[in-house]
Amino acid sequence: MATRPTTQFGTERTGICIMSIASEMRGILPTANLQRLLDALSAKGYRIIGPTAHDGSVVWETVRSVSDLPIGWRDQQEPGRYRLEQTASQEVFGVVHGPQSLKPFVFAPREPLLQIERTKDGFAPRQMIPQLEKVAVIGARACDLAGLTVQDRIFLNDAYRDPYYAARREGLFVIAVNCVRALSTCFCASMETGPRAKTGFDLALTEVDDRLLIEAGSEAGFDLLSDLSLSPAPQKLLDEAATRVDACGHSQVRRLERSRLPQALYDAHEHPRWDDVAGCCLACTNCTMVCPTCFCHAAEETPDLDHQQTAHVRLWDSCFTQEHGYIHGKNIRPTIKDRYRMWLTHKLASWIDQFGMSGCVGCGRCITWCPVGIDLTEELSALLVPASRSSVTSQQVEGP
């Protein structure tokens, strides 16, 4: 009997809860039939967005057919290096991620806030709240969901609720993919954000050879699952899926030592390591642009040529820019050292004081997309060693 298991939703689900999911909340779809899922989403009015191979990386694009997805491709990521490789497999979700997280779908890189018209009384602002659009994103990873949770906390559950973010968020349907392969840059296991999608998804897929295990994580996801009338998942497949996801977590080679945060990083403010990293950092802003949680933005005013209309727009900004710390007459953070320290201290330490959670979800994008391969896990390890012992290598510090 397909009773709606509404009580399962709305609270954070733990691993134990997942084990007890009623059998009708999950099913098996042969990968060859994945198009049925896309068609069911289209039938419900969703625009489907998925990973597509593009110019040597994977980017989110509208997908209509399974063949739009990067079948057989895998990504190799290392500090400062991203490569797509074609394999002989028919894996659909072999690419872990590209530079984009879910952030651009909710916190738009460029968001017109107001369109303001000159009037005889002065001016009249029109709110540019985005029209509700049903968007289904297929292929989000656990780290991306964790990033979305962080952004929800900032834009929806702080002193002010951001209506632009809220409008985009409302229409978002997320189909997560549990990771069965870790990149060299991944450290979600140490952040306890992955590799299994725990919360915040509508559907979650685990690709096991030529089959997809599909689980519902929300009422909307459950509805969609019911429409597909899938065959039930045999216990053996559930076990195999769990084993592969667990193995992915265990295979991660990087970890972030967060037990003494935030204070340990506040205490490291004068550490000489900041000079070392500043000597490499180009202040290019890549790390902040690919970060699933970075939220800094700037306001821009773009008047029409006749000055009768003007758009009040917000744009992604970065704490690595010269302007970010500027107040009249002085710059609070004039050097790259100041800015790298600001970024890392905010991300890993003051974020915890501000929002009750880390600003890092362990996706590793900032490591991959840094043109000089700066690795924040390595920087933190070095910073946690008192300055007098800074000659100790990071490997020794990390321990077993």
Partner 1 sequence: MDAEADSMANPYVIYPATIVGKIREAEDINTYRLRFVDEQARRQFRFKAGQFNMVYLFGVGEVAISIVSDPDEPALLDHTIRAVGRITKAIADLRTGDVLGIRGPFGQGWPLEEARGRNMVIVTGGLGCAPVVGAIEYILRRRTQYGSVTILHGVKTPQDLLYRERFDAWRRFPDTEVLLTSDQPDKSWSYHIGVVTELFELVSIDPPKSIVLMCGPEIMMRLGVPILIRRGIPATAIYVSLERHMECGIGLCGHCQMGPYFLCKDGPVMRYDRVAQWLGRTGV
Q: Which two tokens stand for residue 169?
A: 């968020």
Distance in angstroms (rounded) separating the CA atoms of residues 29 and 22: 17
- Where helices occur in 171-272 by DSSP H, the ranges are 188-191, 219-228, 235-250, 263-267
Q: CA 176, CA 201: separation in Å to the nearest integer?
A: 6
What is the tally of helices (H) and strands (E) in the chain? 16, 15
Tell me how far, at minimum, the Cβ of 347 lies from partner 1, in Å: 11
103 or 346: whose CB is closer to partner 1?
346
Residues from 262 through 291 that contact partner 1 (CB under 8 A): 262, 266, 269
Q: Does 16 bind partner 1 (CB under 8 A)?
A: no
- Select 65 or 127, whichever has its Cβ closest to partner 1: 127
Q: Interface mask (CB under 8 A) for partner 1, residues 326-365, using x and -?
A: xxxx--xx-x-xxx-xx---x---x--xx-----------
Determine the residue type at 174. V
- Between helix 163-170 and helix 142-156 the angle, nearest 10°, is 140
For residues 319 and 333, what is the distance between their CA atoms, to the nearest angstrom?
A: 9
296 touching partner 1, by CB under 8 A: yes
| Binding range to partner 1, per CB under 8 A, among 20-28, 192-200, 231-239, 325-333 | 325-333
110: contact with partner 1 by CB under 8 A: no
Minimum separation from the CB atom of position 144 to partner 1 (A) = 21
121 part of the interface to partner 1, by CB under 8 A:
yes
Cα 155 to Cα 161, 167, 296, 318, distances in angstroms: 6, 11, 11, 17
Among positions 160-199, residues that touch partner 1 (CB under 8 A) are 160-164
Amino acid identity, position 187: F
CA quadruple 182, 185, 191, 197: dihedral positive or negative? negative
| Contact between 33 and partner 1 per CB under 8 A | no
Exactly one of 113, 205, 367, 380 binds partner 1 (CB under 8 A); that residue is: 113
Residue 67 beta carbon to partner 1: minimum distance, rounded to whole angstroms? 40
DSSP 230: P
Return the bridge partners of 299, or none.
314
By CB under 8 A, name the binding residues for partner 1: 113-114, 116, 118, 121-125, 127, 129, 154-155, 158-164, 262, 266, 269, 295-301, 303, 307, 310, 312, 314, 317, 319, 324-329, 332-333, 335, 337-339, 341-342, 346, 350, 353-354
